[in-house]
A and B are shown apart, each in its own frame.
Chain A
Amino acid sequence: MEVVTLPLPPSLRSKLQAAGYSTIDSNVSPVELARDVCITHEEALGIIKLIPTSNVSPCGTGASSALDFCGQNAWDLFRHEKAKRRIITSCHDLDNILGGGICTKEVTEICGVPGVGKTQLGIQLAVNVQIPAELGGMGGHAIYIDTEGSFMVERAVQMIESSVVEIMRRAMLDPQVDMEALKSEVNVDKFLSQIYYFRIHDVSEQVAVINTLEKFMIEHGQVRLIVIDSVTFHFRQGFEDMALRTRLLSSLSLKLMALVQKHDLAIVLVNQVTNKITQEGSEVVPALGESWSHACTNRLILYWRDGQRFASLFKSPSLPTATAAYEVSAKGITDAFQTYKKAKYI
């Protein structure tokens, strides 16, 4: 193993290299290493632990799987994916183009012009993730990371109220649901207390909160959704060094991806839009540039056309590009009016 490829602090790395260890073997003895490099035994042990030991089983007998790694194969993943649950958006057409809703284990980005309903959709999802499991929901909690101060608790209460009414109405139809138990679970106060709200004021706070999410997740295992509204705001101002911004953003997105895989949750990122000047004039594109567009697994673009709100699934590894109309009403996100009802597939 090359020493440069190990996650070591620079001081240790240069000590190793000075002692002739530009490559290192996992069967080197820690005593010998400590003596050669002039480091403590603890440090030497730490280094040796970083070296991957080949834990691969001897060759299998199967013709197609001589290499049997402990990782997951596509067949196992396929069965997992089928069982994956989705967070509904409360708009049927939108759910359809998303394959049933916002998917767990994926990072979804929502972009759009101001006022088109990005925050509304974010709050709606934070409410819908709490729909109890016996009624087809996920029964999870939500984390809401607010960087712009646009989260309105009064609005959340409105959405929760209409959501509670809807849940109760569906529960009435289902004779197997225990109404008394449900009432203690599904009420405005309970729902509100299950949205964990972080207010972020600058870039360093944003990076810090994302770094500590892992710990927060361990304490609050019920969390199934994290909304970051918006991921953009603090990154669009006060950055002299654009390369640093790109590095920060890309490491941020990798951390989020690792988080969704590990904890079986969905992450929704809200992004702003910007004007991109081209030879033909200008077009509205998602902010944060080209590198960031690779950071999300799915990208949903919200826009206005002829006085109607539309959502367009622009990027998805497993679903086709499609557009659906939706509406924002007092109840929250709802189906569009009759004239636009039909989902249009491009």
Chain B
Amino acid sequence: MVLLRNLGLSSLTPSVLELFAAQGILTAEDFVAHELHKVSAAAGQRSESSEFKEAVAELLSYLENRQGGWCNGFELSQKEVRYLPLGCESIDNLLRGGMQEGTITELVGVSSTGKTQMCMQAAAHAAYKLRCSVIYIDTCGAFSAQRIAHMLGGMLGSLVQVEEQRDGLTLAMKSIQRRAYFDIFSVLAFLQDLHTTLQACAEHSSLRLLIIDSISSVISPVLGGNHSQGHALMISVGQILKKLATTYKLAVLITNHTVAGDGGQPKPALGGSWKSVPHTRLMLSHDSSNDVYTISSLKHTSLSCTKQAAFRVGRAGLDSVVGARRISE
């Protein structure tokens, strides 16, 4: 939303701007929202009528040029879709290759069901195997570089290999940027900052993964009560995340906690309007009797939501478990 006088259009002279302001039109959006004939009627009574018409025409053509153009379905299908694997076979199979770039993936689960472990696994795998940079926004103090190091070590296997690949591992560790924020305003400010930075140097950027663990812990203190401001903040976070994901083809991975739903069953927190933000929503659960973690999709834009995958959390990261079924099935 831009103030009319900052648009830089030559026909918007101070007198025309004054005319618009008298009608309560200050920004381009105000202009769109107003009924044009009413404004013209008001303008007709004054002497600058021709000047005014010129301004309206120029504004309209400016707004027309603002739209991004179109393409057809065939062209869309030709566009390359990249996936960012997590490096755990069963999960990658479930997701047909991993997290889709340009979309938001959300992990939901009760406490200690492996959400943070999955985030760190994704970060370690992307940084080492795919040699891309990762931004990890940590809002609950759970990021552990030592754990990342263990996971990286696990990707190589033997100690000898770890020694040989020392430089590679160091480089991988260096390409994981961790940011600790404990309130929603600093998260928003950082995301905005990231947007401006990427705008300037998107071609050179090797950033492919953005992780926020967890989004709900900064949103839940402001949500609810009699104020709508918290809700507005939540929607702003969703908007900017979507913008970052689609514009710069980032895979965005966020975590959310659960609240008690119908009959005490856990359901994702943050309510109905947040539900539309993530493209993919994955539910995690943990069976303590055999220490198997199960992951199933609650929402996916291109896959059916009936399948599930199992994994174990080991010292060296996530190991896929094949053939494990939940007792309830």
Interface of A toward B, CB cutoff 8 Å: 1-2, 4-7, 10, 13, 19-23, 36, 52, 54-56, 58-59, 63-67, 69, 71-75, 77-78, 80-82, 105-107, 243-244, 246-247, 250-251, 253-255, 257-258, 260-261, 278, 289-291, 293-295, 297, 299, 314-315, 317-318, 320-321, 346
Does the CB pair A294–B171 fall under 8 Å? no
List A contacts of B222 (CB < 8 A): 247
Which residue of B172, B182, B221 contacts A258 across the interface (Cβ within 8 Å)? B182
B178-A74 in contact (CB<8A):
yes
Among residues 198 to 224 in chain B, which have CB atoms less than 8 Å away from a CB atom of chain A? 198, 200-201, 204-207, 214, 216-218, 220-224
Inter-chain contact B133/A65, CB cutoff 8 Å: yes
Within 98-129 of B, Cβ neighbours of A (below 8 Å) are at 110-112, 116-117, 120, 123, 127
B139, CB-defined interface residue at 8 Å? yes
Cα A71 to Cα B197 with chains together (Å): 14
CB-CB nearest in chain B for A1: B192
Q: Are B176 and A52 in contact (CB under 8 A)?
A: no
Size of interface on B: residues with Cβ below 8 Å to A: 84
Which residues 216-269 in B have Cβ within 8 Å of A in the complex? 216-218, 220-225, 229, 232-233, 236, 257-260, 264, 266, 269
CB-contact partner of B174 in A74, A293, A314, under 8 A: A74
Cβ of A346 and Cβ of B174 under 8 Å apart? no
Chain B residues, CB < 8 A from A250? 217, 220-221
B221/A251 in contact, CB under 8 A = yes
Q: Which listed residue (A19, A58, A253, A294) contacts B26, Cβ 8 A? A: A19
With a CB–CB cut-off of 8 A, which chain A residues contact B206? 63-67
Q: Is B30 an interface residue (CB 8 A)?
A: yes
30 contacts between A and B (CB under 8 A): A5-B236, A10-B229, A20-B26, A23-B1, A52-B193, A54-B193, A56-B196, A66-B201, A66-B204, A67-B177, A67-B207, A74-B123, A74-B136, A74-B174, A74-B176, A74-B177, A81-B145, A105-B141, A244-B225, A247-B220, A247-B224, A257-B139, A261-B180, A261-B182, A291-B220, A291-B259, A294-B257, A317-B116, A317-B143, A346-B288
Q: Are A75 and B182 in contact (CB under 8 A)?
A: no
Which residues of chain A are near B141, meaning CB under 8 Å?
105-107, 257, 260-261, 297
Complex interface bits, B276-308 against A, C-beta within 8 A gives 1, otherwise 0:
000000000000100100000000000000000
CB distance from A321 to the nearest CB of B (A): 8
Residue of B nearest to A84 (CB): B146
Query: Which residues of the partner chain A approach B224 to less than 8 Å between Cβ atoms?
Result: 243-244, 246-247
Q: In the complex, what residue of chain B is closest to A10 when comparing beta carbons?
A: B229
Contact across chains for A317 and B236 when beta carbons are under 8 A apart: no
Residues of B within 8 A of A107 (CB): 141
Q: Pick from B27, B173, B197, B269 the residue with the most CB of A within 10 Å.
A: B197
Q: Which residues of B contact A36 (CB under 8 A)?
A: 3
Q: Does A64 lie within 8 Å of B27, measured CB to CB?
A: no
Residues on A with beta carbons closer than 8 Å to the beta carbon of B189: 1, 5, 52
Q: Chain B: which residue is nearest A106 at the CB level?
A: B141
**Roughly how many angstroms separate A20 CA and B223 CA in the complex, as a whole number?**
26
A19 to B26, CA, bound (A): 7
Known A-B contacts A297-B141, A317-B147; A56 and B266 likewise in contact (beta carbons under 8 Å): no
Q: Do residues A254 and B182 form an inter-chain contact, with CB atoms below 8 A?
A: yes
Q: Knowing that A58-B200, A67-B197, A315-B112 are A-B contacts, what are 7 other residue pairs whose CB atoms are under 8 Å apart, sorted by A's residue number?
A: A5-B192, A20-B30, A59-B205, A74-B123, A81-B144, A106-B141, A257-B140
- Give the CA-CA distance A72 to B176 in the complex, in Å: 9
Q: Is the CB of A58 within 8 A of B201?
A: yes
B165 lies within 8 A of chain A by Cβ: no
Interface core residue of A2, A13, A246 (most chain B CB under 10 Å): A2
Top 8 A-B residue pairs of the complex, sorted by shortest distance between their CB atoms: A20-B26, A293-B111, A251-B221, A75-B173, A318-B144, A77-B145, A78-B145, A258-B182
Q: Judging by beta carbons under 8 Å apart, are A320 and B264 in contact? A: no
Enumerate chain B residues within 8 angstroms of A2, measured Cβ to Cβ.
Answer: 236
B94: interface (CB < 8 Å): no
CA distance A295 to B141 in the complex (A): 10
B175 in contact (CB, < 8 A): yes
Residue from B179, B189, B200 with most neighbouring chain A CB atoms (10 Å): B189
Tell me whether B149 is interfacial, beta carbon within 8 Å.
yes
At the interface, yes or no: B185 with Cβ under 8 Å from chain A?
yes
The residue in chain A whose Cβ has the minimal distance to the Cβ of B257 is A294
B241 shortest CB reach to chain A, Å: 13
Cβ of B188 to closest chain A Cβ, rounded Å: 4
Could you tell me if A5 and B197 are in contact, using CB atoms closer than 8 angstroms? Answer: no
Contact: B133 with A64, CB < 8 Å?
Answer: yes
The answer to the question of B131 belonging to the interface, with a C-beta cut-off of 8 Å to chain A, is yes
| Neighbouring B residues of A289 by C-beta, 8 Å | 260
> Which A residue's beta carbon lies closest to that of B213?
A317
**Beta-carbon contact of B145 and A5 below 8 Å:** no
Whether a CB of chain A sits under 8 angstroms from the CB of B190 is: yes
Contact of B40 with A by CB under 8 A: no
Once A22-B1, A54-B197, A299-B112 are accepted as A-B contacts, the answer to whether A254 and B133 lie under 8 Å apart by CB is no
Say if the beta carbon of B142 comes within 8 Å of chain A: yes
User: How many angstroms between the C-alpha atoms of A13 and B147 in the bound complex?
Assistant: 43
Residues of B within 8 A of A81 (CB): 144-146
Of all chain B residues, which has the CB nearest A317? B142
- What residues on A are CB-neighbors of B93 within 8 Å? none
Whether B111 pairs with A5 at a CB distance below 8 angstroms is no
Per-residue CB contact flags for chain B residues 34-49 toward chain A (1 = under 8 Å, else 0) read 0000000000000000
B148 interfacial by beta-carbon distance below 8 Å: yes
* Residues in B whose Cβ lies below 8 Å from that of A80: 145
Most A CB contacts (10 A, CB to CB) among B111, B139, B183, B204 go to B111
Instruction: A130 to B204: give the CA distance in the assembly, Å.
Output: 50
A56 to chain B, nearest CB (A): 4
A260 to B180, CA, bound (A): 11
